[in-house]
Structure 1
Amino acid sequence: MGVAREPDADGRAPGGTSTDRRQPSWAARVIRRTPLTIGLVLALLVVGASTGSLLAPASRQPWYPEIATGLPALAEGHWWSLFTAIFFLDRPIVYLVLLPLVVGGIGWGEWRFGSLRTAGIFIAGHLVGVLGGAGVLALVSRTGWPWAERLATELDVGPSCGALAVLVFAIATLPAPWRLRARIAVGTWAGVSLLYLGQLHDLEHAISVLVALLASGWLPAFRRPAGRPTQREWRLIGLAGLITVGAVQVFDLIVPFDGPLGSNDPTASLVDVAVDVVVILVIANGIRQGYRLAWLAAILLGAYNLAAAALGFAILPLLVDAGVLSGPGDVLGLLIAPTILWIGMMLLLIFGRGAWRVRLRASRRKLDAQPLTRQELIERLRRHGGDTISWMTSWDANTRIAAAGDGAIAYQAHAGVAIMLGDPIVPDGTRAQALSDFERIAQQAGLIPCVFSASGASAAARPAGWRSVIVAEDTIVDLPGLAFTGKAWGAVRTAMNRAAREGVEFRMVRLAEEPWNVLAQVRAISEQWTGDKGLPEMRFTLGTVEEALDPEVRVGIAVDGEGNLHGVTSWLPVYGPADPETGAAQVAGWTLDLMRRRDGGFGPVMEFLIAASAQHFSEEGYAFVSLSGAPLVRPEQADAGPVDLVLERIGGLIEPLYGFKSLHRFKQKFNPRHESLHLLYRDEGDLPRIGIALTRAYLPDASLRDLVASATAAGKER
């Protein structure tokens, strides 16, 4: 009998057959990583079904005082209730509310921290909330406070305190700025619930959340560096504060409550609430965008509400003496709670006032930096060098400004977004400074900053907290020793040999210096190509014939013996790093831009033109040619995340019309090396607006109707 042998390290059996190493399914991974969450959910459902609390309130059962926690239970020595209360819920409706919190909060924490640490956080959060609530009530109920006296006699059940604590600790693992936003959201929810609803579980939740927020910011294992909020964060916090105040005032108007600030029947003035809500709706977007006028309106609205509250407090004794009110408690809660919120809102607006300086008129919202002419930008490019798309910053659609001293950057503003094109053109060592300055001045102008088609060096120098995602691959052919030999160059050799047989010759020219008949043919070919697409020519990182007429641009053309033009390619100069001796940059290579071919002409004209151009530049001593990056095409091996889905939707809209992916595959015939180009952005909240801005940048003259109609037509043809 043979002896069984272990498979090799690569997973193959000795005989060469592969062993079964299938990865566990997603469901199996979830079960393996979240046993605590699954166990708690099952326990809640089983206990609810077996005790009948799934269908009827547990608080009405005779055994409820034995398993529920609260000050009465602890006073009677029911210490076990601290643990039994976890597995019960008060009313059937609570299952619908609490189970998502258990799954989301505890499940997320368990996925991040593991079961043991999550169990520790859960138990600690539960005990802190329950014991803290009982301790607070034991102290304040003796003061005669009606709210505290009422809660001191109540009981509670459920795992919500522990689940909230785990959720807060999980939030601490989020990157900035989502961490701050989520903390504010949870803290605001807990605070408003305590002030307005004021039930026992609201008090316990507030204590558990407060302690968890403090602990997650203090414990070294969860601590994350956090500085002063940026301009953008002040604006978002201000927006959230206004929405919260407006929602609370509507709540005041329609919902009775009996909280720690007193009881309230819906007695608020409909007119006053309507005025506040309407003003908040009008200025909310302005607060988000940092408009100075919206900030002034918010300050005036806050001052009006605080003045009204002060007047209310002043006349309250008079109303009681006159018999209009039976006691101050009738409206005290209605006055105190909104006053606290408006005081907080006013402090926020005053301390963060520097975030609201954007002018209302769009014509005045330009970056506060020294403007540059096209020639000044080109001079700085020749001084410092640039990347393979830096020459595109000289095109007319871009706005050019000074950066990092004698450097430069170019951007386009669309849909409230400032899209910086390529790397900053700056001296060595100042790239990070230029990107930080661009972020600051764009935000001051009320624009969302981002950088499109940035190199890996710029991605590494991006401002703190920014994200980076690959949006294109630059395809580069190195020219020294270029020879079209070997199997990999077969398609290129075939095109060049066929051109020689059919009498199609290559010429490298400056298009502006060519006779009118050559230029007329170039325009005709380009117009024919554009007409077939049903949309205007794309812009931004794609040039047109007008850009090819630049005297600095080289143009390769394919002409037959009768003078007929079969195809045209344009090449943009690429300035390398500055020479340390002369202090000036020299043209190191060329970037492919315009590609047009005549219908019915020489078949492999593009292969022929690109290969002949590369050969021509190689003979002139240049280092490389870039076939440029196909926009919105990322490497296949790159992991796809949520950001990629947004960009793929944009690319999917344009792909049937312009064929970026097929163009990218075509360039592989020239055996290039690849360098990734990145989109740099602040966080995922900016992506929807950036997607709109990129679409407008590439198709500035196309209407939405044009896009939909052309994409539909192109999709039917495929």
Structure 2
Amino acid sequence: MRNTLAFTRRYLATIPLSIAFAVLILVTSLVAGTFFGPPSEVTENTWAAGVTTVVDMGHWWTVFTALFIPWDPFQLVAGILAALVLLGVAERLLGRLRMVAVFLVTGLVGVGIGVLLQWVGSLAGEWWADGTSYDLTVDPLTPIVGALLAASSLMGPLWRRRVRLVAFGLLIMFALYVGDTSTVYRLIAAIAGVVIGHVISGRARRVTWLKSSFGEARVLIAAIVVIVAVGPLTSWLDPDGSGAFGLAGSFYGDIFPTASDIQELCASATSAVCDDVQRLAQLGGIGPIVQTFVPLALLLVAAWGLRRGRRFALWLGIVVNIGQIVLAFVFLSLVASFASTDPTDTTGLAAIDIGEYIVWGGSTVAVPAAVAILLFVHRKRFALKSPREAVIRFSVTVAAAFAVLALVYSVAGAFVVGAYIPQGTTIVELVLDLPRRFLPVTIIGVTQDALVPPPGFVLVLFQWIGPVFWAVFTLASLQLLNADDQTVRVGDHQRIRALLRRGGGGTLGWMTTWPGNVYWFNAAGDAAVAYRVINGVAITMSDPVCRPGDERQTVRDFAAFCDANSWVPVFYSVHEQFLPVFDEMEWQYMSVGEETLLHPQTLEMTGKAWQNVRSSLNRGVREGMTTLWTTYDELPRPYIAQINAISEAWVSEKELPEMGFTLGALEEIKDPDVKLMLALDASGRIAAVTSWLPMYRDGRAVGYTLDFMRRADESMGGTMEYLIASSALHMKEEGVEVLSLSGAPLAQAPVPKGEEPPAPTVMTGLSEFLAKTLEPAYGFSSLFKFKAKFNPSYSTIYMAYPDPLALPTIGGALGKAYLPTMSAKEAVSLVRTLVR
């Protein structure tokens, strides 16, 4: 909490003008009376902008004052948040003076040109301008949007593209589907912001289209699908809007006529129209209303899968959009049957302007058609197929759900078939009518006579089997899209071990052989990366295994491999020599721990700094302790039993879940290449055990890394110090070059005397917070202090990642990697320990 507050204070200190604007709109809302609700008529006529005030009344100043007054409490809150975040970003990028200039210019251009277009359009009889020419608006979001889009020109290519696509997508969506004057003014201000930003950015005047990686293109296309899917929902939430595409909102929610609507229609319409409306009214209920939102849910699922590059999501998005086109034609045919385009025809509803009919029809057909075409054109970017087992499971689940629901409804309906409406419904007709139970009611009500059961249990089934089926389909689709093929192929373990023995992978490289990892090999087969995919994040373990000089190409090739699979690549526990590669790639990286290193060939345990270690060595000798350098396969059965007992006793004493990933357990010590150093007491029983992972060069072990550490409860104090020091002395005799005491998670190396500590950052603050939070549970700091007894040198280990926005997902994936099997009981124990 302290670090969060410190970061917030530092951020707010850099945006004084944005804070001032937030305070200003708070004050103006109190003065203008919009703090508690919409403005009064006097306030609108005096301060709000629009054709009425600017042109008719001559209140030219309203073009300016409209930028500083929120419309209502909701817009006040939105304006304050936007000022502190969006305008704050613009202030940091543009600088204070340029931000003020851009803020005013884009705001005045947005409102001024918007009013001008409304006035000219209303004179020409254009339907939107004519319908909104009497609207008045005050909106501080207009200049904020303009300033943000201008500042986007000073962002890097990735953020510039994202900000512009999301901003314009949302602005265009609201302008088309809601269509009030504020949405149009904001869109104009955004366009002005982009133009101004391009001028002040100092880049070449030639506008170029930036190329996108597969992963980035998928993100952008998925964002477009989400925006288009949510668009009709916004018009449904605002039924009084003036958007050209507003009719699309009619597909959602309660579309069924009320009793008064039926009475009014039947009094003036033809008998056929009256029968259609009465049939449609009989289909009402909560279940059918829920079912109208199925296309929206499926498109959101498709967007989530598109972000991950899934072929199933591609076809799901295409099919749903085509289905919406069919739905639009059916729905519009219903509208056409209620209304005539002939103004003199009074037999039906009021005449509809042919231009409006074309616009409405185009919006409900052209938009989903454009999305379907976009997906089809970019289909090669979505080539990832789900594993065969996942496809079979999905197919069986969906088919079984359909069959069970259909069977239950058919059997139940057969008992009351005589009471169905219309009279004379047969069981055969009931069965043939089944598919329509799973379609939107808009189609059901106009294709033919609806078979409606009497009130009771069957009516509940009638209304809910469709929503239940689509809920099962949606959940099964999410499971299918989340399935990854993480199969270790035959021979991969032998290949990675051969590369490790050749050399590469660093001091932590042998961890790549542990269960749970899968392997990527380059085309030549002489470089590899061990990784595991969790929630769409490909987390590597240790440095890439490659020859010296191939680091750059190996990292880039693996990143491209992850991009093709729509995974977020995260290089975890890599060392400093790889940082220049990530700098070239414009990736972010942060420290995730410190590795403690000894160099046995120059090791001399002399001096005061080694006093505690020497004391443990001498005490062990006095008490008759000895050591044994061996492997698990060479151990006699009694020793294996003792190691198992020591390990189980250690685990059983902890209510907390045992961590994995880069922390080995009992299974990992059974590797024949892993060395064990045992401490034996005077009676020959095992007092402590350590395991040492090898590091090879040209087939020879030149280094070892400490992994597994356990000691018996009854062993002497200082046994572990005795055992590690004995291991170091043994390695010195063996000619070992490097001894690593492994990494200490979330640790920071001590600052040498006379040097200033580096300035704190958000990431270092986060690491410090996590270290303090987890210390009561796992004792990372205590472990780091224990290793410091051996006077090691320190080597920082890093995590590198391409996208800061993915950090929450990366954090969740790392948590699952370290605690993959944490039970609910263990989770409660962990929380209890941290609270204590």
Mark yes or no: TM-score above 0.5: yes
Q: Please name the residue that 1:11 is paired with.
A: none
**1:615 matched residue in structure 2:** 729
Q: How many Å apart are 1:653 and its aligned residue?
A: 7.8
Q: Does 1:320 align with 2:320?
A: no
Q: Does 1:237 align with 2:220?
A: yes
Residue pair 1:34, 1:107 contacting (<8 A) in 2 also: yes
Per-residue deviation, 1:482:
1.3
CA spacing shift, 1:314–1:639, aligned 2, 3 Å: farther
Superposition deviation, residue 291 in structure 1: 2.2
Q: Is the alpha carbon distance of 1:215 and 1:71 closer, same or farther for their aligned partners in structure 2, counting shifts above 3 Å?
A: farther
Separation in structure 1 between the aligned mates of residue 36 and residue 161 of structure 2, nearest angstrom: 39
Aligned to 2:231: 248
* 1:686 and 2:806 are equivalent in the alignment: yes
Aligned amino acid, residue 669 of structure 1? K
Q: Say whether the 8 Å CA contact 1:536–1:699 is kept in structure 2.
A: yes
Deviations 1:424-448 (A, max 9, x none): 1112333233233323333544544
CA offset digits 1:202-258 (Å, max 9, x no partner): 221111112223443564358999843333333333443333333332344453245
Map residues 145-156 of structure 1 onto 2, 5 A cutoff: 145-152=126-133, 155-156=136-137
Residue in structure 2 matching 1:305, options 324, 332, 339 = 324
- 8 Å contact kept, 2:594–2:795: yes
Write out aligned runs for 1:263-302 (5 A).
Answer: 267-268=250-251, 270=255, 273-302=292-321
Cα shift at 1:408:
1.5
SS in 1 for 2:660: coil
Residue 824 of structure 2 is matched in structure 1 by 705
CA contact (8 A) 1:403 1:426 kept: no
- Higher relative contact order structure (alpha carbons within 8 Å, sequence separation ≥ 6): 1
Instruction: Letter of the 2:800 partner, please give it.
Output: L
Alignment-mate amino acid for residue 296 of structure 2: V
Aligned equivalent of 1:355:
381
Determine the structure 1 residue equivalent to 2:88.
107
Return the match for 1:493 from 614, 631, 642.
614
Q: Percent identity?
A: 30
User: Relative to 1, partners in 2 of residues 1:496 and 1:167: Cα closer, same or farther, differing over 3 Å?
Assistant: same
Unaligned runs of 5+ in 1: 1-23, 577-583
In structure 2, what is the equivalent of residue 531 of structure 1? 652
Structure 2 residue aligned with 1:603: 717
Q: Within 5 A, what are the aligned runs for 1:56-455?
A: 58=39, 60-61=41-42, 64-65=45-46, 68=49, 73=54, 80-90=61-71, 94-137=75-118, 139-152=120-133, 155-171=136-152, 177-216=158-197, 219-220=200-201, 227-253=210-236, 255-259=238-242, 261=244, 267-268=250-251, 270=255, 273-309=292-328, 319-321=340-342, 323-324=348-349, 326-328=351-353, 331-332=357-358, 334-361=360-387, 365-366=484-485, 372-403=491-522, 405=524, 406-445=526-565, 447-455=567-575
**Matching residue of 2:418:** none
Q: After TM superposition, give the deviation of residue 476 of structure 1 in Å.
A: 0.7
Task: For residues 580-639 of structure 1, give each alpha carbon's deviation from its aligned partner in whole angstroms, at most 9, with x where no partner exists.
Answer: xxxx36433211111111111121011111112112212332222110002344557677
Q: In the alignment, does 2:580 pair up with 1:466?
A: no
**Superimposed CA distance per residue, residues 345-374 of structure 1 (whole angstroms, 9 cap, x where no aligned partner):** 224323432332222337684379987532
Mapped partners of 1:220, 1:42: distance in 2? 29
C-alpha deviation, 1:47, in angstroms: 4.7
**Is the Cα contact below 8 Å between 1:264 and 1:330 reproduced in 2?**
no
Hey, what's the Cα distance between the residues in 2 that align with 1:713 and 1:38? Answer: 40
Which letter does structure 1 place at the counterpart of 2:497?
I
Q: Indicate the residue corresponding to 1:567 in structure 2.
A: 688
Paired residues of 1:264 and 1:331 also in contact (CA < 8 A): no
Question: Distance between the aligned counterparts of 1:524 and 1:672, measured in 2?
Answer: 31
Letter in 2 for 1:425: V
Secondary structure of the corresponding residue to residue 54 of structure 2: helix
Q: How many residues align?
A: 686
User: For the Cα contact (< 8 Å) 2:49–2:137, is it kept in 1?
Assistant: yes
8 Å Cα contact 1:33/1:114 also seen in 2: no
In structure 2, the partner of 1:457 is 577
Q: Secondary structure at the match of 1:401?
A: strand
**Partner secondary structure for residue 193 of structure 1:** helix
Cα-to-partner distance string for 1:95-147 (whole Å, 9 max, x where unaligned): 34433333433333224433212111111211221232244345544432122
What SS does the corresponding residue of 1:661 show, helix, strand or coil? helix
SS of the aligned residue for 1:630 comes to: strand
Give the TM-score normalised by the residue count of structure 1: 0.83
CA apart distance, 1:483: 0.8
* 3-state secondary structure, aligned to 1:551: coil
Q: Contact 2:45 / 2:53 at 8 angstroms: preserved in 1?
A: no
Query: Kindly tell me: are residues 166 and 705 of structure 1, through their superposed partners in 2, closer, same or farther at Cα, counting changes over 3 Å?
Result: same
Q: Secondary structure at the match of 1:566?
A: strand
- Structure 2 CA distance for partners of 1:383 and 1:494, relative to 1, 3 Å: same
Higher helix residue share: 2
> Residue 667 of structure 1 is aligned with which of 787, 791, 804?
787
Secondary structure of 1:495's counterpart equals helix
- The offset of 1:554, in angstroms, is 2.5
**Structural mapping, 1:502-651, within 5 Å:** 502-534=623-655, 537-576=658-697, 584=698, 586-635=700-749
Task: Report the CA distance shift for 1:351/1:661 in structure 2 as closer, same or farther (over 3 A).
Answer: farther
What stretches of structure 2 of length at least 5 have no aligned partner? 256-287, 391-483, 751-756
TM-score, normalised to structure 2's length?
0.73
Opposite residue 538 of structure 2, the aligned amino acid is: A
Which secondary structure state, in structure 1, belongs to the residue aligned with residue 744 of structure 2? coil
1:479 matches 2:600: yes
Counterpart for residue 12 of structure 1:
none
* Distance verdict in 2 for CA 1:498–1:194, change over 3 Å: same
Relative to structure 1, is the Cα distance of residues 651 and 67 closer, same or farther in structure 2, using a 3 angstrom cutoff? closer
- Preserved CA contact (<8 Å) 1:588 1:623: yes
In structure 2, relative to structure 1, the CA distance for the partners of 1:195 and 1:471 (3 Å cut) is same
Partner AA of 1:320 in structure 2: T
| 1:581 corresponding residue in structure 2 | none
Secondary structure, aligned partner of 1:629: strand
Kindly state the Cα deviation for residue 670 of structure 1 after the two structures are TM-superposed. 0.8
Offset of residue 72 of structure 1:
6.1
Measured against aligned partners, the alpha-carbon deviations of 1:433-484 in whole angstroms (never above 9, x if no partner) come to 3233323333544544322211122343238353322112111112232111
User: 1:627 is paired with a residue of what secondary structure?
Assistant: strand
State the alpha-carbon separation in 2 of the partners of residues 390 and 672 from structure 1: 20
CA distance in 2, matches of 1:634, 1:197: 53
C-alpha spacing 1:359/1:72, structure 2 compared with 1 (3 Å): same
Change beyond 3 A, Cα 1:241–1:566:
same
Instruction: Give the CA deviation at 1:551.
Output: 3.3
After superposing the two structures, state which structure 1 stretch, 146-155 or 637-646, moved more: 637-646
Shift of 1:666: 0.4
Could you tell me how far apart the structure 2 residues matched to 1:143 and 1:698 are?
A: 67
